[in-house]
Amino acid sequence: MFANVIVDISNDAVDRVFDYVALDDTKVGMRVKVPFAGRTVLGYVIGLSEHTDFDENKIKPIIKNLESVPKIKPEILQLCLFLAKHFFLRLSDCIKLVIPSCVRLDNQHEMTEYDLTLLLDIDTAINLIGKRAKNQLALVATLNEQGSIKYQKAIEIFGRVSVNTLIEKGIILKNAYRKNRYQYDNSDVKIQKNILTPAQKNAVNTIQNQNETFLLQGVTGSGKTEVYMTIIENCIKDNKTAIMLVPEISLTPQMMDRFNSRFPNDVAVLHSGLSEGERFDEWERIFNGQAHVVLGARSAVFAPIENLGVIIIDEEHDSSYVSESNPRFITHDVAIFRARFNSCPLILGSATPSIDSFYKAEKGEYKLVKLPERINGLEMPKIEIIDMLNEVMDGNTSPFSRKLLSKLDDCIKRGKQAILFINRRGFASFVMCRECGYRAKCDDCEVSLVYHKEDNELKCHFCGKRYRALTNCPNCNSTNIKYGALGTERVVNELKNIFPNVPIYRMDNDTTRRKDGHKKILEEFSTHSPSILVGTQMIAKGHDYPNVSFVGILDADVSLYNSDYKSNERTFQLVTQVAGRAGRKTNDGYVVLQTYAPKHYVYRFAMNYDYNGFYEKEINLRQTTGFPPFSTILRILVTSVSDNKAIEVTKKIFDKANELKTKYGKSIIFLQAMPSPVKRIQTKYRYQILTRFVPDDKITSDFYNIADIIEKDVSIFVEVNPNNLR
Q: In angstroms, rounded to a whole number, what is the distance separating the alpha carbons of residues 591 and 554?
A: 11
| Residue 583 interacting with ligand ADP (CB under 6 A) | no
For residue 719, the SS3 value is strand
Binding site partner of 23, from Zn ion, ligand ADP, none, Cβ cut-off 5-8 A by kind: none
| Residue 253 interacting with ligand ADP (CB under 6 A) | no
Q: Report the residue from 233, 266, 410, 444 that binds Zn ion according to the rule CB under 5 A.
A: 444
Count of residues in contact with Zn ion, rule CB under 5 A: 15
Binding site partner of 473, from ligand ADP, Zn ion, none, Cβ cut-off 5-8 A by kind: Zn ion
Strands 346-350 and 213-218: parallel
Within its chain, how far is the Cα of 634 from the centroid? 23
Outline where DSSP puts E strands in 583-703.
Answer: 590-595, 632-640, 668-681, 684-693
* 447-486: contacts with Zn ion (CB under 5 A): 460, 462-463, 465, 473, 475-476, 478
| Residue 435 interacting with Zn ion (CB under 5 A) | yes
| Nearer CB in complex with Zn ion: 483/630 | 483
For residue 104, the SS3 value is helix
Binding site partner of 438, from ligand ADP, Zn ion, none, Cβ cut-off 5-8 A by kind: Zn ion
- Measuring CA to CA, how many Å separate 21 from each of 37, 43, 72, 709? 16, 13, 20, 32
- Minimal distance, residue 50 CB to ligand ADP, in Å: 53
Say what the alpha-carbon torsion angle 605, 611, 617, 622 is, to the nearest 10 degrees.
130
- Minimal distance, residue 350 CB to ligand ADP, in Å: 9
The amino acid present at 76, given as its one-letter code, is I
Q: x-or-dash pattern for ligand ADP, window 211-250, by CB under 6 A?
A: -------x-xxxxxxx------------------------
Contacts of residue 437, Cβ cutoff 8 Å, sequence gap at least 6: none
| Residue 445 interacting with Zn ion (CB under 5 A) | yes
- Minimal distance, residue 154 CB to Zn ion, in Å: 53
Helices 134-146 and 151-158 pack at an angle, to 10 degrees, of 140
Q: In angstroms, rounded to a whole number, what is the distance separating the alpha carbons of residues 171 and 665?
A: 85
For residue 723, the SS3 value is coil
Residue 292 φ then ψ, to 5°: -100, -10
Q: Report the residue from 111, 122, 138, 436 that binds Zn ion according to the rule CB under 5 A.
A: 436
Measure the N-to-C terminal CA separation of the chain; round to a whole number of Å.
50
- Minimal distance, residue 552 CB to ligand ADP, in Å: 20
Count of residues in contact with ligand ADP, rule CB under 6 A: 15
Q: x-or-dash pattern for ligand ADP, window 533-552, by CB under 6 A?
A: -----------x--------
- Minimal distance, residue 226 CB to ligand ADP, in Å: 4
- Minimal distance, residue 254 CB to Zn ion, in Å: 34
Stretch that binds Zn ion, among 98-106, 197-205, 438-446, 526-534 (CB under 5 A): 438-446
| Nearer CB in complex with ligand ADP: 370/604 | 370
| Residue 65 interacting with ligand ADP (CB under 6 A) | no
- Measuring CA to CA, how many Å separate 641 from each of 7, 329, 448, 646, 647? 30, 26, 20, 8, 11
Is the link from the previous residue into 327 a cis peptide, with omega within 30 of 0?
Answer: yes
- Measuring CA to CA, how many Å separate 643 from each of 229, 325, 650, 686, 712? 53, 22, 11, 8, 13
* 136-195: contacts with ligand ADP (CB under 6 A): 194-195
Say if residues 593 and 607 touch (Cβ distance below 8 Å). Answer: yes
Say what the alpha-carbon torsion angle 98, 360, 88, 307 is, to the nearest 10 degrees.
30
Say if residues 535 and 506 touch (Cβ distance below 8 Å). Answer: yes
| Residue 526 interacting with ligand ADP (CB under 6 A) | no
* 354-413: contacts with ligand ADP (CB under 6 A): 375
- Minimal distance, residue 459 CB to Zn ion, in Å: 9
Strands 531-535 and 504-507: parallel
- Minimal distance, residue 293 CB to ligand ADP, in Å: 16
Outline where DSSP puts E strands in 71-171.
Answer: 111-118, 148-150
Comparing CA positions, the residue from 513, 581, 520, 572 lying closest to residue 547 is 581
Binding site partner of 176, from Zn ion, ligand ADP, none, Cβ cut-off 5-8 A by kind: none
Question: In 297-448, where does DSSP find H-type helix?
Answer: 331-341, 355-362, 388-393, 402-413
| Nearer CB in complex with ligand ADP: 244/720 | 244
| Nearer CB in complex with Zn ion: 138/436 | 436
Q: In angstroms, rounded to a whole number, what is the distance separating the alpha carbons of residues 566 and 722?
A: 10
Q: Report the residue from 196, 463, 498, 725 that binds ligand ADP according to the rule CB under 6 A.
A: 196
- Minimal distance, residue 304 CB to ligand ADP, in Å: 28
Residue 322's CB: how many other CB atoms inside 10 A?
19
Say if residues 675 and 715 touch (Cβ distance below 8 Å). Answer: no
- Minimal distance, residue 195 CB to ligand ADP, in Å: 6
209-212's contacts with Cβ under 8 Å and 24+ in sequence apart are: 209/344, 209/345, 210/345, 210/367, 211/339, 211/340, 211/343, 211/344, 211/345, 212/345, 212/346, 212/366, 212/367
- Minimal distance, residue 430 CB to Zn ion, in Å: 13
Binding site partner of 196, from Zn ion, ligand ADP, none, Cβ cut-off 5-8 A by kind: ligand ADP
Binding site partner of 469, from ligand ADP, Zn ion, none, Cβ cut-off 5-8 A by kind: none
Binding site partner of 476, from Zn ion, ligand ADP, none, Cβ cut-off 5-8 A by kind: Zn ion
- Which H helix or E strand runs over 202? helix 198-207
| Nearer CB in complex with ligand ADP: 200/549 | 200
Binding site partner of 352, from Zn ion, ligand ADP, none, Cβ cut-off 5-8 A by kind: none
Comparing CA positions, the residue from 422, 399, 419 lying closest to residue 411 is 419
| Nearer CB in complex with ligand ADP: 230/650 | 230
Binding site partner of 197, from ligand ADP, Zn ion, none, Cβ cut-off 5-8 A by kind: ligand ADP
Q: In angstroms, rounded to a whole number, what is the distance separating the alpha carbons of residues 150 and 176?
A: 10
Residue 546's CB: how many other CB atoms inside 10 A?
13
Binding site partner of 49, from Zn ion, ligand ADP, none, Cβ cut-off 5-8 A by kind: none
| Nearer CB in complex with ligand ADP: 540/553 | 540
- Minimal distance, residue 619 CB to ligand ADP, in Å: 24
Q: In angstroms, rounded to a whole number, what is the distance separating the alpha carbons of residues 539 and 537?
A: 5
* 394-433: contacts with Zn ion (CB under 5 A): 433
- Minimal distance, residue 203 CB to ligand ADP, in Å: 11
| Residue 197 interacting with ligand ADP (CB under 6 A) | yes
Binding site partner of 436, from Zn ion, ligand ADP, none, Cβ cut-off 5-8 A by kind: Zn ion
Q: Give the number of C-alpha atoms closer than 13 A to the C-alpha of residue 510, restricted to the C-beta side.
A: 23
The residue ranges that bind Zn ion (CB under 5 A) are 433, 435-436, 438, 442, 444-445, 460, 462-463, 465, 473, 475-476, 478
The residue ranges that bind ligand ADP (CB under 6 A) are 194-197, 200, 218, 220-226, 375, 544
